[in-house]
Amino acid sequence: GAVVSQHPSWVICKSGTSVKIECRSLDFQATTMFWYRQFPKQSLMLMATSNEGSKATYEQGVEKDKFLINHASLTLSTLTVTSAHPEDSSFYICSAAGQGTEAFFGQGTRLTVV
Amino acid sequence: AQSVTQLGSHVSVSEGALVLLRCNYSSSVPPYLFWYVQYPNQGLQLLLKYTSAATLVKGINGFEAEFKKSETSFHLTKPSAHMSDAAEYFCAVSEGFQKLVFGTGTRLLVSP
């Protein structure tokens, strides 16, 4: 299957700082990327959908000014958690899909805000 | 709106025993259905998917699932559990094959 690389795999940041997570499709062009959030021992919740070159579509209840998503190329999307707080600590997972294909998942990023 | 219900947050089996993880879905359109496995602090690995072809879907690692429209179910089975099967399993439904709605997950515990 196609490969989606997410970086970093884990990050610790101080409260009030911002952190950027990258999601790359290594061997295909990802027209659409999805960002999910997973709290400990819980399921994955979709945060937003991004199409290359367009603004991301956020799910209800997700603060777009806090979780900035950029999908500037067909192989890269970034999620920036701005002014992070301890409650933002979570596991973030991206998935990427080509035109008409299924979505492939990255390996996830464990964010800890201290 | 689509939704998925996974019955049982934990399932315990002995090594060599049958694995049965339950998933029921709700969808107003013909669904795509998926089973994923997640190991601690890792991403999701696709086990199998149903895309309106054969109702019995075979996946990796000996897993299979059967789509039953009349029961709105897509239960995951494996004839003989291995210790390495211990993980979290997620059932997911999709309308458009890409944007997924996940169930709450089932943790599979395998004892020697």
Between A58 and B42, whose confidence is greater?
A58
> Which residues contact residue B45 at a Cβ distance below 8 angstroms, ignoring those fewer than 6 apart?
A105, B36, B37, B38, B39
* Mean of pLDDT over chain A: 92
Q: Which residues pair with B20 in a beta bridge?
A: B77
Residue to substitute from B46, B57, B88, B100, interface A, most A β-carbons within 10 A: B100
Average pLDDT over residues A7-18: 96
pLDDT at res. A56: 93
Q: Within its chain, how far is the Cα of B15 from the centroid?
A: 19
pLDDT single digits (tens) B3-61: 999 998 999 999 999 999 999 999 888 889 999 999 987 888 999 999 887 899 999 99
* Mean of pLDDT over chain B: 93
pLDDT single digits (tens) A83-114: 999 999 999 999 999 887 888 999 999 999 99
The CA distance from A56 to B20, in Å, is 38
Average pLDDT over residues A26-31: 92
Q: Minimal Cα–Cα distance from B105 to chain A, Å?
A: 6
Which of B93, B20, B18, B16 minimizes the C-alpha distance to B50?
B93
Q: Minimal Cα–Cα distance from B99 to chain A, Å?
A: 7
> Which residues contact residue B5 at a Cβ distance below 8 angstroms, ignoring those fewer than 6 apart?
B23, B24, B25, B26, B103
**Cβ pair A44:B97 closer than 8 A:** no
In the structure, what pLDDT confidence band is assigned to residue A1 with cuts at 50, 70 and 90? low
Residue to substitute from B42, B99, B101, B109, interface A, most A β-carbons within 10 A: B99
- From the list A43, A97, A100, the residue facing B102 with the nearest CB is A43
- From the list B43, B90, B99, the residue facing A43 with the nearest CB is B90
pLDDT at res. A36: 95
The CA distance from A41 to A21, in Å, is 22
Please say if the pLDDT value at position A37 is more than 80. yes
In the structure, what pLDDT confidence band is assigned to residue A63 with cuts at 50, 70 and 90? very high
